[in-house]
Structure 1
Amino acid sequence: METASSEIHARHETVVDAAPSTVYELITDVSLWPVIFRPTIHTRVLERSAEGDRFHIWATVSDGEVNTWRSRREFDAAGLRVTFRQDHDNPLFGLMGGGWTFHPLDGGRTRVVLEHRFNPPPDQAGARERIARELDHNGSVELEALRTVAALPGGAGAWLRTFSESIELAGPAEAARDFVWDAGRWPERLPHVAGLDLVKGTGGTQDMTMRTRAPDGSTHTTRSIRVPMPDGSIVYKQTRPPRMLLGHSGCWAFHTDQSGSRIRSTHTFLMDPAGVADVYGPSVKPDEAADRIRAALSANSRVTMEHASRHAASISAPR
């Protein structure tokens, strides 16, 4: 870590067992970040072209608090570099910028360099030390995750899946959203939820530890952070996913038009080859594992959506 009079500089690097172009593509596609990088909860692309993009990101810091900001990036595919900068001051970090550089090495490997520059917020005691800690923590965590995902056998795409499902609501979308957001009552409302601990955070976020009951009667525990979006949707990221997953994120969306109201559940998950082998057996291929995981996620989502629809219907029923 090197510091200047007002600006903080940080540099982290690692060697990845994958080609520079592979690592470059993982970094330029921010839609994948919630299932790759542990701190990233959600990303929303605002603009994108071959030259760069602009996106909104929600991510945790080391104490678990969710922070959000907007960033602009410039892509240099020929030079294997991505530069970024915030387009506004961040209350936690001040003004941030930096870049990713991907250096080819022998054997098809890549040396990845992540650099940050911060101007700390003025008149905040301990800002420089806090930012330095966050940079060291998140930088190390992100590079470790990148090293794991870039080296997945067959490429990350072989282990990545996204799917969506929706149902028509029997009542108003607002009531269905209230049902989904009121997760503290899920143990009494949803048959697959064996228990749930909910902690409310800043900005209306939720930190949710849930014990889910499987059809065979076994239970497993996951931990998620949920964030309410301005459009009424609810996004989430499992910070403690099941053993067979490296990452899992999702979204509950609610829509009303002249034809009626609908609820949609979207899941994105990245499988862990070692976890898949442990849970399903070493002979199970990625497609078969993905089908099993999708079936389990779909079953729970559909039960939740159906109960949300019944709740909405009960709210709108004449009394």
Structure 2
Amino acid sequence: MSAAEQHMSHSITVEAPASRVYRLISAIESWPLYFAPNVHVEVLARSDTEERVRIWATANGEVTSWTSRRDLDPGRLTIAFRQEVSRAPVAAMGGAWRVVPVTDERCELWLDHDFTAVGDDPQLVEWITRAVDRNSESELGAVKYLTESDDGLADLEFSFEDTVRVDGAAADVMEFLDRADLWPTRLEHVSRLELSEDESGVQRMSMDTRTADGSVHTTESVRVCLRDEDRIVYKQTVTPALMRAHTGEWRIAAAPEGGVDVTSRHSVIIQAGSVAKVLGEKATVADARSFVRQALSRNSGVTLACAKEFAEGRSRSGSATATT
């Protein structure tokens, strides 16, 4: 063991069965929806007891990514993890989730970390410590909220997709979706958009969107551009009041009959405490689900239609040029 290895533990009491808590922390694909720091998770390999995953997340406000191996033990209610590929300032990191039953309806949830910093730099150790503290407390609090929720996560959480067929090239569709900085001139519902991108293809986006009633909502998102796979995944880090969390994906796939299918996928958790305030005292979670789905589908539908027009216009122009 390195003399510079640091150890940290965080815990919280959860008024829910241990099995329910374990199911939530084991569902790593849903972490971006459940946990504020997590942006996106890709499962690279999986068996009944092992997973290899790539995770994008925020740490002290910065977006970073790493590859980890997870060992799942449902009998002992533990999940051990170890980063295979870490990213500076982290040199190495691992740890474990541990669910400890107290009664049938109560448990203790522990999140342990060990890590070393690049060059054993004390300033980097302090930076990592702050990130682990902030993210661990946020994730433990989210587990508590979601597993104790009176409304039931199954009612609050939902996903849906919209797909259009495009008689054009995937590269042209991807260009339209990728160049979100141009959306204010291309999409009627986008009145302002600020975008920045780092060298790894991670984009930060702040956008003002007009709703059907003419009001404007400001959202902030982190987008991971997986250009080699014709996909863009994203997470809204600042959401409208009705949504506790919102993640999404733009996906382009070759269509059997030619052209491409372009899909917009949304996953949402409703903010139950805001339903009455936003939609009225008699509104239900079901009403909120319907309202949010219609709003998101309307906006993504406009984006899909404009991407289709853009790509098919490029295709027609290219064909005309080729025949002259």
Q: What TM-score do the two structures reach when normalised by structure 1?
A: 0.93
Match of 2:21 in 1: 23
Deviations 1:198-218 (A, max 9, x none): 222341221111111011111
Letter in 2 for 1:41: V
Letter in 2 for 1:233: R
> Within 5 Å, which residues of 2 pair with 1:16-95?
16-62=14-60, 64-95=61-92
Task: State the match for 1:157 in structure 2.
Answer: 154
Q: Where does 1:258-297 land on structure 2 (aligned, <5 Å)?
A: 258-259=256-257, 260-297=259-296
| Structure 1 residue 184, shift from structure 2 partner | 1.0
Q: Distance in 1 between matches of 2:76 and 2:168?
A: 54
Match of 1:10 in 2: 8
Shift of 1:276: 2.0
Opposite residue 5 of structure 2, the aligned amino acid is E
Aligned equivalents of 1:16 and 1:120: distance in 2?
32
Match status 1:308 vs 2:310: no
Q: Give the Cα–Cα distance (whole angstroms) in 1 for the partners of residues 117 and 192 of structure 2.
A: 42
Q: Deviations over 1:124-167 (max 9, x none)?
A: 56221221111111111111222211222243122110111110
Please state whether the residue corresponding to 2:217 is helix, strand or coil.
strand
What does residue 197 of structure 1 align with? 194
Give the aligned residue type for 1:194: S
Take 2:122 and 2:254, find their aligned partners in 1: how far apart are those partners?
Answer: 48
Identity %: 35
Paired residue total:
316
Q: Give distance in 2, aligned partners of 1:79 and 1:92.
A: 32
The alpha carbon displacement at 1:33 in A equals: 0.5
Tell me if structure 1 keeps the 8 A contact 2:168–2:314.
yes
Deviation at 1:57, TM superposition (A): 0.8
- List structure 1 segments (4+ residues) > 4 angstroms apart after TM superposition: none
Q: Any conservation in 1 of the 2:173–2:311 contact (CA below 8 Å)?
A: yes
Q: String of CA shifts for 1:41-92, please: whole Å, max 9, x gaps.
A: 1011122233232211111111x32211111111221211111111234333
Provide Cα deviations, 1:80-136, integer angstroms capped at 9, x if missing partner.
111111123433311111011112234712211100011222365622122111111
Change (3 A) 1:125 1:112: closer
Alignment-mate amino acid for residue 102 of structure 1: V
Aligned to 1:187: 184
What SS does structure 2 have at the residue aligned with 1:126?
helix
1: CA distance, partners of 2:177 / 2:128: 35
Counterpart Cα distance in 2 of 1:186 and 1:222: 14
Check whether the contact 1:47–1:54 (CA below 8 A) recurs between aligned residues.
yes
CA contact (8 A) 1:17 1:109 kept: yes
Residue of structure 1 in register with 2:242 after alignment:
244
Q: Which whole-Å CA distance do the structure 2 matches of 1:77 and 1:282 have between them?
A: 42
Indicate if the aligned counterparts of 2:252 and 2:263 stay in contact, CA closer than 8 A: yes
CA distance in 2, matches of 1:115, 1:21: 19
Letter in 2 for 1:266: R
Structure 1 alignment gaps of length 5 or more: none
Partner secondary structure for residue 89 of structure 2: coil
- Gaps (5+ residues) in structure 2? none
C-alpha contact 2:67 2:86 (8 A) present in aligned 1: no
Shift of 1:34: 0.7
Give distance in 1, aligned partners of 2:69 and 2:160.
28
Aligned with residue 131 of structure 2, among 134, 155, 164: 134
Amino acid at match of 2:280: G
Please give the per-residue CA displacement for 1:211-233, whole angstroms capped at 9, x wherever unaligned: 11011111111110111114121
Amino acid at match of 2:250: W
Kept after mapping to 2: 8 A contact 1:222/1:240: yes
Quote the Cα distance in structure 2 between the aligned partners of 1:151 and 1:240.
Answer: 23
Please point out which of 89, 105, 109 is paired with 1:108: 105
